[in-house]
Structure formats: C-alpha cells, structure tokens
C-alpha cells in the first residue's frame, strides 16, 4: 500500500500516467512471463483520491447498502400509496363539505392548498417521530460492525445534513402523495354531491382508484417479503455450513510479551511454554493452544512450497496458506486428523522439523498418494516432514472454498516468529469470568505482557457474516413494516367500503342472505386485489432476487419455495386484516340500519 501527495498543479491523471509507466518498465524487465500475474492481480497502477481512506469497506458494503437504500425507498412508496388511498377514502366522506364550500365561492386552488397543508402536517409529524428514533436506529446499525477481532467502528451520527435530507424527503413525499387525492376530490362538480345516483358514480371511480393503490401496496410488499425470505434463507444456509472446526465456547486473545528485540530465542520460547502450562491448569479450560492465526480471524499468510513429484502449472500452484501453531491446536478447535498425527510436545526435541497439511493440500500435491513421511521445502528452508493430514476447515470466509493449508510448529517456524501470538482456550462451560482468569495467568508469567483483542469464536464468525446479517435483519424489518402498511391500507379501504354498504348488508340480511354470501360480498374485492397484487409483485420479486443473487448463498433466483412463502404470508396478513370488517358486515342489524336511513 502506498500513499503520495500531489505536487501543486498536478492532477491524479498525470500521476497515474507517470506511476504506471514506472510499473510497466519494472514488469517488462523481469525477464519472465508475467501475463498470469497480470490476469490474476493487476495490469496497471492508478492513483486514486485518498480522502476517504484506504480500505475495503466500500467494496464490501457498497452493494448491500445500496440495495437497502432501494428497499427503504420501496417502503416509502408503500407508505405514500397507503396514505394516498386513505386520503381518497377520506375525501369521499368530505364530498358534501367540499361541494358546499365550492358553492359558497371558495376557489379550487385554495381547497387544494388546504388539503396539501393537512397532508404535509401528517408527514411532518411522521418525520419528527422518525428523526427522534434515528439515533437509536443508527446505534443499532453501527453495532453490527463492531464485532470480531477487527471491529469496524463506524462514525455515523445524526447531523443537520441528515435531518435536512429527511425533512426534504418528507416534504416531497407529502406534496406528491397529497396532490392527486386533493385534485380528484376538488375536481368534482359540486352539483353532483346532491344527486345520489351521481354520487354513487363518483364513489365507484374513487373506489377503483383506492383499490389500484392497494394493489400497488400489495405488489411492493410482496417484493420486500420475498427478499426478506431469501436473505433469511441465506443466513440459515451460512449457519449450516460445516466450518470444519468447533464453533462454540472458544475464547481467543492476542498476547504480546512486550519483550526487548534482543531477547534470546530460548527465553521467548520459555515464555510461551509457561503461558500454555498455566492456562491449561485453569478450571474450566478444556484445551488451550497458541497460533499465529485463528479461523475466520481476517488474517492470512502464504508461502511458496516445493513438493517432490509435483509439477506446478502456474505460479499460484506453488503458493500455500501458512499458519504456525503449538501442540494442542487441532484438539482445541476440534479439527480432526484424518491421517497420521498432529503435533506433540515430543516434536520439540526431534532434529527434523515436521508439518501438518490439510486435505485440500494433500489432494492437490499428492493426487491420491500417501503424503505421510514425504518431505517438502519452503524456499531455501530445511526439508519438513509431513506427519499428518488435518481435516479441511474454513479460513477466510464461510463462503470461500477451503484453500490449501500447511501448519508448521511454533518452535521450528518457516519464517521468523511473530512478536505476538493468539491464545485460544476451549472452555467446558460458558462464563464471562474466564477472561479475567486466563489474563491473570498470562500476567503471572510476565506482568508487562499485553493481552488484547479478546473475542469469542462465535463473535469472529459473526464478524465474517456482518454484511449478510445486516442485510437480512434490515430486510426482515422492512418487510414487517411493509406488511403493516399494506394491512393498514387494506383495512382502511375495506372498513370504509363496509361502512358505505351498511344499508345493502342490512337489506341482504333482512332478505335472508347467508353469512357465506355476505362474506363473499365483503372479501371478493379484497381477494381480487390480493391476486392482482401478487401477480404484479411476483415478476418484480424475481427481478429483485436476481439482482441480489451475489449477496445470496445456496439460494437460487428460481427457488419457487421463497415466492410461495412470500405470497402465503401476504395472504395470511390480508385475511387477518379483513376479519374485523367482515365481522361488522355479519353483525349488521337490518332493523336498526333501515330505521337510521
């Protein structure tokens, strides 16, 4: 990684041109075929602005957060459609008021402005509640990132820019939502309000408009529900992946003895041996080991390997991931030794250094041959004897294919020993007090030792799934919100319809209509709306899942079960919403209704 400062008057384009020329000159002077490296890594150097830092957060979280921004926009559209349908219903009830005011000389523009002002007040109140809840929501979101050995501390706070943006969105949504219902209500002929037949015709047009908005809500809600279902399946599938190691009740911590640079090697080795011996005596500590890296820690190291009888086809074939571990490492993590054996304390006294490789490396380098007893080299190192083959386990990510891996002993490192190591302790029970007990044992060996990055393996796994958990959690929250809004829209329209047809239901009941016929009269339009919304929402759901396929795991865009589940959830919500209006239709008293009319 390199950072430079531009000279006054220079541009990033000029800098890119100059540094790429230097890079191309270097590559051409290597005397070997670099095309494979160019294809796999990079072919040019380019200068980019460093104002936003040099990290991979944008690459890692840009796509998920952009998708969630689209989802939040859909929720806002559902809310606007919901309120628009309710305003249309409310406007129908105010038809006589509007007609009287128009007849009294009020201008249509003044009435439209009044109705827009009323709608804007609703949105201002809603935006105020949202801004009040925003700090808690922001805290919850940033908490997703602050897990694992390398937590991401995102500085996201509510400021005037976000507040102004929220207010602007609320204002635009209010004006857009309230304008159409206001124009439809005010645009009627005031003389129609006094004519029952014409009033029924106007109400029919209003009902068609409100039902169209309900259908749109159902379609968009189905998209969000299906999206939430596929992301929930992704999380379940990732959790079900066989990681190849024990996942629970393992505590990890970084230990730095803080020794001077000229400390003799035997004194350093004695420190680590004493630490292991003391930690293993702690009651409740089932196993303990030391290593440079741990599974899913975010750290990685590779080295070149020479295997007798293996002919590499590319430069990448000679690379193998490397970890230095102590005896007991495989037992601590529950990684099985499928052939040969693991490291023991007796290996410290052998003259020949030994290593353990994983199954993927054994298959790649030995092609069915028995690797036990074979000798390999790492560059110009002494030959290392393979004494065991460990089961495959995930290293960088739950999604990744298991790479080729070699485990070397800490006491005979392939490279110089690192100044700090990771202490892993497998516990036989869960208890927060273990951290202090183990830390005390480390400090008993050397009081100046630095113990940091204390995390459980569960937290490390969660850290690797942070983007998936974030997307799944927010998708579920947005889907629940969308279902709630759709339910409110369906209920409002249906309740208004039942209230407007109370005379009809009274007459039908008086004439002996059965509850089944009344139910068909009430639920028929709702059923049609749900079917239309589902038919419209399914293609949109397929498109949304297809666009989000890079975020999914073991879930295909053509998974019919996800769409059926989403449609079923939506149908159940619609049925539950229609229950109360249906009960009101059933309980209509014919005599009381006709007397009132």
**For residue 195, is it left (φ>0), alpha (ψ between -120 and 50) or beta?**
beta
pTM of the model: 0.76
Helix (H) or strand (E) holding 386: strand 384-390
Q: For residue 304, what are its two tokens?
A: 């070149």
DSSP state for residue 451 in the 8-state scheme = E
Cα(430)–Cα(427) distance, integer angstroms: 7
Q: For residue 439, what are its two tokens?
A: 């830390």
Cα(490)–Cα(436) distance, integer angstroms: 56
For residue 215, how many other CB atoms are within 10 A of its CB? 23
101 versus 124: the higher-pLDDT residue is 124
> Looking at residue 589, what is its pLDDT?
62
Q: For residue 429, what are its two tokens?
A: 């029970």
199 pLDDT above the threshold of 50? no
> Looking at residue 71, what is its pLDDT?
86
For 365, 530, 573, 580, the CA distances from 515, given in Å and listed in that order, are 76, 22, 22, 14
116 versus 348: the higher-pLDDT residue is 116
Q: For residue 426, what are its two tokens?
A: 């497998």
Q: What is the mean pLDDT of residues 110-131?
A: 85
> Looking at residue 189, what is its pLDDT?
59
Q: For residue 374, what are its two tokens?
A: 């074979």
3-state secondary structure of 509: helix
Q: For residue 388, what are its two tokens?
A: 């065991």
Q: What is the mean pLDDT of residues 240-251?
A: 90
Cα(13)–Cα(414) distance, integer angstroms: 42
Could you tell me which residues are beta bridge partners of residue 421?
255
Of all residues in the chain, the percent with pLDDT exceeding 90 is 25
CB 226 within 8 A of CB 232: no
Of all residues in the chain, the percent with pLDDT exceeding 70 is 87
159 pLDDT above the threshold of 80? yes
Q: What is the mean pLDDT of residues 35-59?
A: 74
16 versus 178: the higher-pLDDT residue is 16
CB 356 within 8 A of CB 409: no
361 pLDDT above the threshold of 90? yes
Helix (H) or strand (E) holding 164: helix 160-186
């Amino acid at each position: 990684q390199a950072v430079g400062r531009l000279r006054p008057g220079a541009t990033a384009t000029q800098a890119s041109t100059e540094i790429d020329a230097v890079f191309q000159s270097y590559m051409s002077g290597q005397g070997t075929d670099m095309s494979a490296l160019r294809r796999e890594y990079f072919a040019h150097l380019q200068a980019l602005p460093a104002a936003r830092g040099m990290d991979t957060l944008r690459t890692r979280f840009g796509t998920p957060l952009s998708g969630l921004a689209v989802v939040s926009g859909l929720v806002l559209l559902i809310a606007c459609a919901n309120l628009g349908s309710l305003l249309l219903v409310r406007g129908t009830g105010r038809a006589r008021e509007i007609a009287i005011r128009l007849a009294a000389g009020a201008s249509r523009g003044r009435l439209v402005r009044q109705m827009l002002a009323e709608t804007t007040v609703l949105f201002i109140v809603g935006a105020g509640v949202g801004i009040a809840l925003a700090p808690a929501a922001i805290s919850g979101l940033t908490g997703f990132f602050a897990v694992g050995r390398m937590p991401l501390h995102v500085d996201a706070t509510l400021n005037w820019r976000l507040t102004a943006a929220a207010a602007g969105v609320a204002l635009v949504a209010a004006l857009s939502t309230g304008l159409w219902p206001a124009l439809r209500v005010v645009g009627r002929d005031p003389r129609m309000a006094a004519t029952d037949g014409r009033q029924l015709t106007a109400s029919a047009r209003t009902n068609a408009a409100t039902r169209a908005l309900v259908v749109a809500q159902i379609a968009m809600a189905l998209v969000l529900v299906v999206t939430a279902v596929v992301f929930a399946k992704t999380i379940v599938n990732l959790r079900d992946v066989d990681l190849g190691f024990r996942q629970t009740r393992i505590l990890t911590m970084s230990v730095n003895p803080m020794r001077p640079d000229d400390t003799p090697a035997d004194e350093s080795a004695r420190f680590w041996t004493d630490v292991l011996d003391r930690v293993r005596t702690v009651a409740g500590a089932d196993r303990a080991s030391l290593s440079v890296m741990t599974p899913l820690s975010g750290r990685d190291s590779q080295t070149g390997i020479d295997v007798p009888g293996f002919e590499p086809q590319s430069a990448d074939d000679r690379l193998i991931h490397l970890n230095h571990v102590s005896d007991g490492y495989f037992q601590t993590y529950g990684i099985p030794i499928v052939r040969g054996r693991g490291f023991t304390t007796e290996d410290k006294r052998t003259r020949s250094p030994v290593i353990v490789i994983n199954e993927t490396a054994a298959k790649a380098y030995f092609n069915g041959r028995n690797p036990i007893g074979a000798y390999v080299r790492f560059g110009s190192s002494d030959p290392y004897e393979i004494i065991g083959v460990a089961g495959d386990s995930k290293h960088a990510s739950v999604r990744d294919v298991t790479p080729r891996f070699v485990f070397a002993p800490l006491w005979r490192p392939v490279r110089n020993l690192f100044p700090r190591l990771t202490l892993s302790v497998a516990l036989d029970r869960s208890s927060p007090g273990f951290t202090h007990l183990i830390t005390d044992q480390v400090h008993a060996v050397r009081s100046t030792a630095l113990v940091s990055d204390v995390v459980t393996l569960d937290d490390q796994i969660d850290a690797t799934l942070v983007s998936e958990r974030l997307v799944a959690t927010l998708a579920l929250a947005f889907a629940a919100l969308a279902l709630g809004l759709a339910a409110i829209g369906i209920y409002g329209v249906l309740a208004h319809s039942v209230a407007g047809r109370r005379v009809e239901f009274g007459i039908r009941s008086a004439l002996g209509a059965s509850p089944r016929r009344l139910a068909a009269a009430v639920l028929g339009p709702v059923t049609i709306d749900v079917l239309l919304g589902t038919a419209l929402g399914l293609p949109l759901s397929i498109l949304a899942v297809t666009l989000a396929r890079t975020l999914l795991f073991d879930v295909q865009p053509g998974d019919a079960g996800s769409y059926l589940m989403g449609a079923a959830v939506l149908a159940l919500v619609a049925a539950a919403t229609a229950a109360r209006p249906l009960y009101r239709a059933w309980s209509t008293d014919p005599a009381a209704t006709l007397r009132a009319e």
